[in-house]
């Protein structure tokens, strides 16, 4: 339906009529942040700014934090909303508990990206986990999160967490084979520093680093906007992962089109049935007690996330288990 | 979390800095339509306008149609997006097939609102249906749809359809008791002409007009934005409908927060298990053949729609069957 643009256009090619990509602040609605991108042409979601709290430029991207009128604090990278305090629960809980509730007693977990700490916060709910490695490319994201998003950055305080600042692709290439029970790829869109995280060589590194029957969950765009990207990711994953290959999705109001998807795959070995979690978290579960109750995730929403609209099912095909 | 405003503010109370509510076109992003409302303060979704096709003022509301850059034609009432050609399938198919696939062989169906004809298009897929009554308050909506949205207005061409222009509340009060197998309330938000459609006396009229074990499906706002409204609707429905009372939801990218909910209730009589459709539409079903294949709805997405995030479940309570 829409053209998919996978490379950032030069400034003079950007016909969105604003400089959002350059500095993250809309010049067209004074006092508002407008999210415009060639990834979703012809539409923009805007949030009213109460106060700009931080603006910086790292080696990799523009970093901004603002206090919004109705969504709490907002983290923006290269003009794209990554996190708002009001709806971050949906993304962080789903990208973490979809894979971790699908296997018994995860012990070693690797997070690629996720420098805000939100995924770490969710991984650290599991008493079975012994080691949480995280490889984030941009130290500024970690620092900014620690300063402005204590409820996300709390994830870094767990003594099981080892933070590596560096390239996730290189980190995985050097990871010992068959190490991890789960890898969670919490990346931004494939038009900035995260581009390689959507390509086949990266998935091969992930598969190599997982134990037999280990699982990966990776951010996989919107069925409403990016079916071509999703089709390519699914095709790559079907070639690389010899266990099962599934697409799931959930609602996040401040992401474009209001939804975000996840690829969930397992390597050859003990069978993983992603659609039916082996760990069924209920209100009395230890996971709900340790860090306060989960706001979004529960076993029913887990299974429901794998049910696709007909237009998506026809392209992606059936989830396999 | 946020204050819920249920009445339209006077012009001088509107602090959104635009006149969207007055004429439907944003004056602050030239060439774009921005949807701002006291129903979702502090945020706005904007679509790039290619061409404004229609602007009118009916007895009830401002009516606008524009050609957007990436969402096809868009119907706007009182500054709020009702339909875009790109994502209307999700709303029309879900609000229709959630109730109609939950009962055997629906014969008499009433649609309140729905003047664009999209719900009629979906109802007319059922060969069992003998009579489709529709009561829309605003003739301009019907006329505009027939002119600009032939794929929606096609619903009016079915000979089983009887169109009544008038007040849905009065129409239902005068409806013979125990008549309908299903009532579908396709309304706009509760701050304009649709306000009464969210109140208890209206639900009582619906219940009276339904046969024993008949079903109603009514537009019921967003769990991310309007939990207070939803709580009140659920409470009203629990008092009125003695069969089952359920909340379901789905994704619609151009609706605020990207989701929309539905109340699904049945009257005392034969039990209705909304979460498990009795009519399981598959690709070879007659319903898929008569009007082209369904784009969004399928039996898995039907059941998944009743699974709620934990924060919503804690307020709404369990769906009852």
Confidence of residue A28 (pLDDT cuts 50, 70, 90): low
Identify the residue among B30, B251, B314, B321 best suited for mutation to test binding to A, counting A beta carbons within 10 A and taking the highest. Answer: B251
- For residue B276, pLDDT beyond 60: yes
> Which domains does chain A carry?
34-84 (2.30.140.10), 87-317 (3.40.50.150)
Range in A245-259, B8-22, B171-185 the model is least confident about:
B8-22
pLDDT over 70, % of chain A? 90
Do strands A80-84 and A73-77 pair parallel, antiparallel, or not at all (unpaired)?
A: antiparallel
pLDDT at A25: 56
A135-162 mean pLDDT = 98
Indicate which residue of B116, B186, B285, B286 is catalytic: B186
Question: How do residues A169-196 score in pLDDT, each as one tens digit?
Answer: 999 999 999 999 999 999 988 877 788 8
Question: What is the CA angle A60-A219-A162, rounded to 5?
Answer: 65
- What is the residue-averaged pLDDT of chain B? 90
From chain B, the residues in CB contact with A68 under 8 A are 42
From chain A, the residues in CB contact with B29 under 8 A are 28-29, 34
Residue A92: left if φ>0, alpha if ψ -120 to 50, beta else—which one?
A: alpha
Confidence of residue A289 (pLDDT cuts 50, 70, 90): confident
Q: Is A130 on the interface with B (CB under 8 A)?
A: no
Inter-chain Cβ pairs, chain A and chain B, closer than 8 A: 138
pLDDT at B193: 78
What's the complex ipTM?
A: 0.91
Confidence of residue B26 (pLDDT cuts 50, 70, 90): low
Confidence of residue B30 (pLDDT cuts 50, 70, 90): confident
- What is the residue-averaged pLDDT of chain A? 90
Confidence of residue B288 (pLDDT cuts 50, 70, 90): confident
Q: Strands (DSSP E) along chain B, which ranges?
A: 32-35, 43-57, 62-68, 73-77, 80-84, 108-113, 131-136, 161-165, 180-186, 210-219, 245-251, 259-266
Confidence of residue A22 (pLDDT cuts 50, 70, 90): very low
pLDDT at B57: 96
Q: Give the list of residues 6+ apart from residue A189 with CB closer than 8 angstroms, or none.
A: A37, A39, A80, A221
- CA–CA separation, B64 and B225 (whole Å): 25
How many CB atoms neighbour CB A321 within 10 A? 15
pLDDT at A95: 98
Identify the residue among B86, B307, B318 best suited for mutation to test binding to A, counting A beta carbons within 10 A and taking the highest. Answer: B307
pLDDT over 90, % of chain A? 81
From chain B, the residues in CB contact with A301 under 8 A are 307-310
Question: How do residues A63-73 score in pLDDT, each as one tens digit?
Answer: 999 999 999 99
Question: How do residues B243-269 score in pLDDT, each as one tens digit?
Answer: 999 999 999 999 999 999 999 999 999
- For residue B35, pLDDT beyond 60: yes
pLDDT at B17: 37
Joined together, the tokens standing for residue A130 give 């012994």
Catalytic annotation, residues of A: 186
First-last CA distance in chain B: 30
pTM equals 0.92
B185-209 mean pLDDT = 90
């Amino acid at each position: 339906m829409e053209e998919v643009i996978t490379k950032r256009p030069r400034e003079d090619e950007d016909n969105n009529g604003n400089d959002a990509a350059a500095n993250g602040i809309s010049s067209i609605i004074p006092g508002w942040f407008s999210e415009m991108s060639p990834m979703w042409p012809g539409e923009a979601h805007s949030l009213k700014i109460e106060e700009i709290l931080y603006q910086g430029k790292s080696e990799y991207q523009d970093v901004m934090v603002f206090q919004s009128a109705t969504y709490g604090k907002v983290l923006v990278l290269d003009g794209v909303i990554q996190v708002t305090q009001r709806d971050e629960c949906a993304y962080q809980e789903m990208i973490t508990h979809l894979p971790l509730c699908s296997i018994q007693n995860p012990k070693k977990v690797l997070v690629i990206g996720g420098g805000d700490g939100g995924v770490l916060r969710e991984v650290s709910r599991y008493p079975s986990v012994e080691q949480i490695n995280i490889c984030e490319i941009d130290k500024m994201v970690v620092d900014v999160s620690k300063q402005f998003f204590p409820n996300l950055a709390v994830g870094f305080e767990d003594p099981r967490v080892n933070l590596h600042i560096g390239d996730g692709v290189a980190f995985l290439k050097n990871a010992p084979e068959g190490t991890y029970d789960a890898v969670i790829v919490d990346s931004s869109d494939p038009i900035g520093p995260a581009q390689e995280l959507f390509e086949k060589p990266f998935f091969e590194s992930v598969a190599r680093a997982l134990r037999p029957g280990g699982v990966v969950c990776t951010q996989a765009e919107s069925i409403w906007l990016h079916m071509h990207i999703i089709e390519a990711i699914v095709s790559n994953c079907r070639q690389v992962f010899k266990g099962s290959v599934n697409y799931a999705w959930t609602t996040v109001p401040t992401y474009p089109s209001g939804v975000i998807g996840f690829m969930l795959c397992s390597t050859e070995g003990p069978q993983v049935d992603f659609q039916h979690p082996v760990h069924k978290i209920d209100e009395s579960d230890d996971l709900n007690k340790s860090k306060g109750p989960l706001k979004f995730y529960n076993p029913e929403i887990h299974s429901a996330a794998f049910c696709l609209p007909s237009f998506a099912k026809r392209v992606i095909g059936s989830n396999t288990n």
